[in-house]
Amino acid sequence: MLKDKKLRQRIEEILVSLPHCRDDDSRLIANIWQRQMIEQYGEQYYSKMSARDLLTEFTKGKLSSPESIRRIRQKIQEKQILLRGQTYHQRQRHQSEVKKEIRAFYN
């Protein structure tokens, strides 16, 4: 539970400070993993890591799962309107248009 709370805080910080991560889970995950690796091993080790090192750490369970990150991000954005990305707003506008078209078709 404590781990989830810390991850939630970290995700929220990133959504506030890096708005481009609100619509891009890949960037959000990369930022989370970067912070976790630096926290665990330090900046110097992180800057020299290979992709293989990163994958090894992931398979050992030392990095948060992408699915957990995505789910927590969704929950935060559901509750905090200001942290929603542009994709959410575009989807809502499109939804309204589709509803109007369907109503017009059936009336």
- pTM over 0.85? The answer is no
| Predicted local confidence at residue 96, as pLDDT | 79
Say if residue 87's pLDDT is above 50. yes
Domain parsing of the chain, residue ranges? 2-106
**Per-residue pLDDT tens for 69-83?**
999 999 999 999 899
3-state SS class at 50: coil
CA distance 7 to 14: 11
Q: Which of 24, 32, 8, 14 is nearest to 88 (CA)?
A: 24
Average pLDDT over residues 75-101: 84
Quick: pLDDT tens for 19-36.
Answer: 999 999 999 999 999 999
Q: What angle do CA 70, 44, 5 make, to 5 degrees?
A: 30
